[in-house]
Amino acid sequence: MTYKIFWICLASLVLSACQTTSKLEQSDTSNESIEATEDTDILEADTEQLGFIDTVPPVDSVEEEQVVEQDEPAIAAKPKAPTDIWDRVRAGYGLDLDIDRPRLSSQLRWFSSHPSYLDRVSKRGERYLYYIVEELEKAGIPTEIALLPIVESGFDPFGYSHGRASGPWQFIPSTGQMYGLDQTWWYDGRRDIIGSTQAAIAYLTRLHKMFDGNWLHALASYNSGEGTVSRAIRKNKKAGKPTDFWSLDLPKETRAYVPKLIALAKIIKNPEKYNYSTYFIPNKPYFDIVNIGGQLDLAQAADMAEISIDEVYLLNPGFNQWATSPDGPHRLLMPISKAKLFRTKLAEIPSKERVTWVRYTVKAGDNLLLVAKQHNTTVNVLQNVNKISSTMIRVGQELMIPVAGNDIESYTLSSHQRLLAKQSRAPNRNRIKINYTVNSGDSLWLISNKYGIDSKTLARWNNMGLGDPLMPGKKLVVWLEPKASEKSTRSVMKKVVYTIRSGESLAVVANKFKVSINDIRDWNPKVSSQKYVQPGDKVTLLVNVVGG
């Protein structure tokens, strides 16, 4: 009996120990699960904080690396990503480059004989190329299209054509609006790197589908419009001719446009064949996208990120003025090495200190438009800031006005400062600069005809398109050169500012400096509008100092 009781007690103890062990194992497993969950949350929080361009190792991949045992068969390593972005571009080629056409040969000769140009546009594109290639790959578009901004704008984000096309992808106003690229006084989405790239991808994808997967037709349409290409195709079909790109009757510019892209693609694919060495661009992100949440002075942004104001504009060329647009987009691109610093400092600044404010008291004769112009802002901004529903203001009323925190000249790549710089660059030596104020009824054709120059040239001097409106009061520059009859083999032309003396007339001045009265009037539009010159009036003259 005693033995039976002993064995029953022993069995009970064994069963109790087993149950305790099971509970401990379950408790340990539960703890491991909690730790894994906490690690995952930390990683997700880091990704959210740093932005989508920052790369954080996924939890799964870290665990796999930890559990692999040495005695297991080796797993084939993934191929390393190329270090040079051009290698990545080549890997994604999708166009037929095995083409030999005279139009293509001429473009190949030009590009291969101008390696400095290829280097220059590559340096310009270094800020943007990684993002463009990344987005093209996501959209399944051949990466040769990453070279299209070279054909369009030479990778100049501020590029502007006589046809009113703007930005790296050269959108005209109507097409830009069609693809959601806003164009306001504050902001032009056609120059925005993110917005314009997404719009170009959407447009090219639609054209590619419209032309049944023919990329050359799609590219030609991107240049001259789908209607132009469609009509050319129908014309050839009707005449029983081939309808490939090379056989179509297209505008001269379009006939050269596609060969330019193919020539660039061939050179990048095999640079040694064309005695060229590509400019190295790292295959890694150049910028990060920072949500700023509202309007911000661009000079202040540059200070916070510890970069130059020019770098801010080059990464964010869509912003026209001294600050981001009050209506958005509320984002800034920042060099990836500076993004964390910028985010930290941005979080420390109160929203009211993101732009500088002045308190203005309305005076007699003021109106909202005049006040806006004086402070380099817009009527809409003044209305929104001051909760004004109409344009009526009263004497003594106080307005809060956002203004540039630094001298306006320091915003060197703002729209206004770029225009001034453009107008100050003489096309060549021995030219005299004429400042012209647009009058009511003026047009580019009338003004250019008056001075005997080409309308396109006048538009280029003033960074305009031929279709841009001319508002009275707008300042233009005209660069004039001496007439052919006044040129000699021995001539050094100098600009002279002469002050009219008592008793002198334009005829006297013309005789003294051996120029014609008409030339003096052309060089000095303000003086030509006067019936008589007065002592103290200043006239600008272009004088041959060698010829006497």
- Just list the catalytic residues: 152
SS3 504: coil
Greatest Cα-to-Cα distance within the chain, rounded to the nearest angstrom: 149
The one-letter amino acid code at 410 reads S
Chain-centre distance for alpha carbon 305 = 20
Structure tokens at 216: 């050359």
Q: In the chain, what is the straight-line distance between the N-terminal and C-terminal CA atoms, in Å?
A: 144
The one-letter amino acid code at 4 reads K
How far is Cα 435 from Cα 462, in angstroms, rounded to an integer? 11
> Angle 432-433-434 (CA atoms, 0-180°, nearest 5)?
120
Which ranges of 113-190 would DSSP assign to H, the alpha helix?
Answer: 115-125, 129-139, 148-153, 173-178
The one-letter amino acid code at 99 reads I
How far is Cα 488 from Cα 427, in angstroms, rounded to an integer? 20
Name 494's bridge partners. Answer: 543
Q: Could you give the dihedral angle defined by the CA atoms of residues 523, 525, 526 and 530, in that order, rounded to the nearest 10 degrees?
A: 110
Name 41's bridge partners. Answer: none
Q: What is the DSSP pairing of strand 356-361 with strand 398-403?
A: antiparallel
Structure tokens at 23: 């509970």
CB 396 within 8 A of CB 361: yes
How far is Cα 432 from Cα 437, in angstroms, rounded to an integer? 16
How far is Cα 148 from Cα 155, in angstroms, rounded to an integer? 9
Q: Is the dihedral of CA 241, 247, 253, 258 positive or negative?
A: positive
Name the DSSP letter for residue 484.
Answer: G
